[in-house]
Each structure stands twice: as C-alpha cells, then as structure tokens.
Amino acid sequence: MILSPTETLIEIRDERQLKALTGVTASQLELLAQELAQVEADRRQAKYDHAVLSGQRTRQPGGGRPGKLTTPTSKVLLVLVYGKTYPTYDDLGHRFGISRSAAFDNLNIYFPLVQEALSRFGVLPSRTLQTLEEFREAVAGVEEIMIDVTERRLARPSDPVSQKDCYSGKKNMHTAKNTVIATVTTFILFLGQTFGGRHHDYNIFRNEFATAEAWFESLRVLVDLGYQGIGQDYNIPLLHIPVKKSRKSKPCPNPTLTPEQLKHNQELSRLRVKVEHALSGLKRFNILVNRFRGRKPQWVDEVIVLCAGLWNLNLLYT
C-alpha cells in the first residue's frame, strides 16, 4: 500500500487506484495535504486572533472534540474522491466511516480550503479579467491561445426562470457553459463564469471580453466555427478559424469547400485538438460528466474551478 489507512481512512492499494479515486498521484496528494495543513493553520490562527481582539474568547486554541477526519491527507481525499467519483453523500460518508450529514458538512468545510491550497500553488485559472493589464499578466509569456467552451449537464432547475436560462435546445437538456482559454501545452489560463446552456458560445465570450479592447493583438488565436464574427468584432491579426461551407441555395445547390480550404481546416483541427485535450482533462472528474445534482447557486461554478486547478497541478507537478 502506498498510503496508511490510519492516515487516509480508506484503503488505497496502489498508485493506479489512487488516481482512479482522486485524479492525482501520491506526490501531488502529499503536496496538497501539506499545503492544506498550512492553510487550515493560518485560518484557525486568524479566527482565534480576531476572537481574542473582539473579546469573544480568552482560552487557548486546541479544545473541543476531534473529528473523524484528523489528518490533512484524509481531508484532501474527501474532497478529491467526491470530485473524481461523484458519489452521493451516503456513499461518501460510508467510505470514510462518517454519516451523510457529516460528509456534507466536512465537504463544505474543506472544499474551499483545498481550493485555496491550489491557489497558493498558482494553478487556478483566472476568472474575470476586467482590464487589458490583467489579461496581459494572465497570458504573460504565451504566444498562442485556444478558445473554446465546455458544457456539462445539470439537474432540471425548479425555478422557471433558471429552467429557461439553462435549457440547451442543441443538447435537449439543461446545461451549464464556461469559456476556456488554454495554451498549446493544455494549461488552462482562463475559465469564464458559468452561464446557462441557452446562451451561445460567442455571446458568452463577448460578455466577458469587451470588443472595444485590444485583447488579442499580439497573440495567435485558434477558435472553432462557433466563434463566427470574432474577426470583425476584435482586432486579432493572427486569427485562425475554419472556413465555413456556404449555405445551400438555388444559385449554389451543392455547396462544397475547395481542396485548399479542406486542407486548411484539417491543419487547423490538428492544432486545435490540444484544447479538446484540456477539456478532457477537466472532465476526468465525474462531477463534470454526470448530471450535476448540487442546488447551492455558487456550487456549480466552484466545482469546475477546482477541477481546472487540479488539471493544471497535474501538468506542473508530474
């Protein structure tokens, strides 16, 4: 065994099983556990100092009944197993020897702590880039980017407004969408805010990047046919987008692409497949593949941020 059951609360036989359950290697898990311990200590000390200064506490820290999850490794594992295998809270609690309510409570406690640990490693993607300076800082040292959208299934919202906003006519189901900007090494630089499935990919993009700014003037940009019009709306000297076949009409009953246009599209597809690799890296985690059951409004956005951070961690700390 590569990890002690007293440390993890669950039995993990080898590296393969660890990756199947968590999506990370043993060395990456150790890094996360060490950083989580520091994050937890910093937060606990800050909370204690604030309570002392406000006169709400006088005794020393460390009292109270210890929980079942006593090691940093077990706390990280709870979050990663939930994201990778996406069990119910009954199943998650059973695996770690706690009740379903304790599984829910602990997940809500340690999920943001693991996310902060990833932030300290510098692997979380940018979320909102309000100014040109922020964007240039996010893509510093990068010459080529690929833009695409990832879409995932949602449980049917109970609110009629949310139902309409999330319903994707193309997919014939309720979905959520996020814009993704990745490098040729599949590192995710930018992960846009979560939109409902009814919104078009390009409309989401324009909502997050104002057309008045020269965001991409020094970058080589690769997009698919979902971004028709980007060349007219943005100043992108090095834009690569497939050639679209003309609509069928009376003057052109059998529209086709020329051999040169077909070759151009094929070569572009070979380059753009890297962004599909980045999206597939995100969707190693079943929480983004299975129909998402969460009801907390911010939860659907936070889970994809965590998965993006774990994917980037996997690229930098192999």
- The pLDDT of residue 50 is 80
Greatest mean pLDDT range, 113-117, 244-248, 258-262: 113-117
Q: Which two tokens stand for residue 226?
A: 């979902």
Strands 173-182 and 195-196: antiparallel
- The pLDDT of residue 1 is 53
Residue 253 has pLDDT above 80, yes or no: no
- The pLDDT of residue 58 is 67
Q: Which residues pair with 196 in a beta bridge?
A: 176
- The pLDDT of residue 51 is 79
Taking the C-alpha atoms of residue 20 and residue 159, their distance in angstroms, rounded to an integer, is 36
Per-residue model confidence as pLDDT tens digits over 135-182: 999 999 999 999 999 999 999 999 899 999 999 999 999 999 999 999
Question: At 179, phi and psi to the nearest 5?
Answer: -75, 140
- The pLDDT of residue 254 is 78
Residue 66 has pLDDT above 80, yes or no: no
Element spanning 240, H or E: strand 238-240
- The pLDDT of residue 54 is 81
Torsion, Cα of 181, 292, 300, 228 (10° steps): 30
N- to C-terminal Cα distance for the chain? 20
Residue 221 has pLDDT above 70, yes or no: yes
- The pLDDT of residue 204 is 95
> Does the global pTM surpass 0.85?
yes
